[in-house]
Structure 1
Amino acid sequence: MEHNASLQLTTPGSRYSVRQRTGLALIGVGVLGLLVMLVGDGSLNPAFTMGVAMAGFLLGSGLLFADLLQQAPGVNNNGVWFSGATARGMAGWIMAIVFTGFYIILYWTPSNLEQLVRGTDALSAALRGRPSDQWFLYGLFYTLAILIMGARMLIKYRDNKYQIFRTISVMFFQLGLAFILPSLLLLLNEPEFYFSYFWPLKYDYLWPSTFSSLTQGPGLGIFLLFWTAVMTFVATPILTFFYGKRWYCSWVCGCGGLAETAGDPFRHLSDKSTKAWKVERWMVHSVLVFV
């Protein structure tokens, strides 16, 4: 019978240790908890179910990453082309469909996430002083993904100072400046402002309506405008001239932070050709002109 590796969910011939199996089981509990909240009738306590799910992901990931300490640090791509998740196999396609579907629901039918949102009400009340919404839920998931996979990066590249500092940087900016600080500003009745986002990523910060709302708002409005102007017209051009776009995309930006952490196991799938690099340059500069 012909062997088709693309239909396998696991690495052919793999043997998982007890610790790895326990970690996978805990992650399975986390996935199950989210599914129950997504399709359930709400009879279970949302906060408790969300807590169990998050604990499953955190503890399970910790057990899986602990095995990296038994391996030599640095780049280790053994088996990546034989794994269903990292070789465009069945597991990879399932992940792609799940993530794409989540974004579709998030933007177009957020009411379907109601139970998941309610599961984060307690945390939202503590940080923002108000009930949760789909964007707080998304920010929480996004931040946890960077923190969890960032921990993996720190373990895997523990002998590389550049990787360590860069990973700590993106974890700090996502957790501190893109999640906690904007929430605390809302708690203090200040504008919800993301200090790590500015033009061109946050192009609406330069819109007249944004200027008006900040100047008419309480307290920090003028400072936030000053921060936006300095980062857009002074800091960004200077830093980009000396270090290229990596100073932001790889060290500060939440998008790059997710790519540098959660995207690390999939680096080999990206196109490394000169043609791809040229296409990227045209796309980047076209977007800059547009915004």
Structure 2
Amino acid sequence: MLSIERTYQHKQACAHKKRHLRKSHAFTSLTNYVKECLILDNTNMCRTSTPRVVDLGCGRGADFIRFERRFPGVNYTGIDMSENMLSQGPFRHHDRVRLICQSIETASLPTADIIWSFMGMQNACSTRSKLKTFLGRINDCLETDGIFLGAFPNGTRILRDMHHLDDHKQLYRFCPIPAPNRQEKWYSFTLKDAYENLQEAAISPAEVFDCAKTLGFEVQALSFAEYIRSCASSSDKSELFSKIVGDAEVPAWAMRLAEYYTCFVIRKRTVT
């Protein structure tokens, strides 16, 4: 097990704000909005003001700041198997951040009040056996009344639709457009490109949530698109939407793509 904060203590952080916007920016903004709303909506019942957060598939560990804004003093552990991503972590030197380079399927999970896995749990749930083992480990390390929050691609819907897609007519396709005066290239992205040869497309929301319920968890789930629409009537979330996504109309392809991702809240209640 590699402790990134020690190994990469002298490496310069990536200048995130200087990056050029990709063609996928509209969907990325919606994703960030979903993240913020999930945390805002579902952490108010946390038993402690300084919870222990475990982020599974944390990437750069950048979501630490989302929990720090909600819970100043939070203790954050991020687990990811990409050494390269962890080495770019903007908060890897923080006293309350611990980053571990290991697969979430084999890593020892610390006790947590909140477990967070945003698009990072797919490989750990790609078979029923792995899913049952994964959720059992979540149950073991999550405190009573703790919550497991996150999102994953809706494999059931993706597998159903991707072989019937016309890549030249998709409204939610990221079209390759030349970027004048820039060195980077735009990329073309479709559901078929992303999931045709990946195991994670097989993850079924119904199987995940049925398995969670057999372990005694309470489960709530919506597609990104449904959740975004449900947040529209909230004044504070409208302000948040303008801040993160902007005031311009969201492209149709971005909302269409949001139908293919599921966000969830899984709660561990006291056994009576």
**TM-score with structure 2 length normalisation?**
0.22
Bigger fraction of residues in helix: 1
Q: Which has the higher contact order (CA 8 A, sep 6+)?
A: 2
Which structure dedicates a bigger proportion of its chain to strand? Answer: 2
| TM-score (normalizing by structure 1) | 0.21
Larger radius of gyration: 1
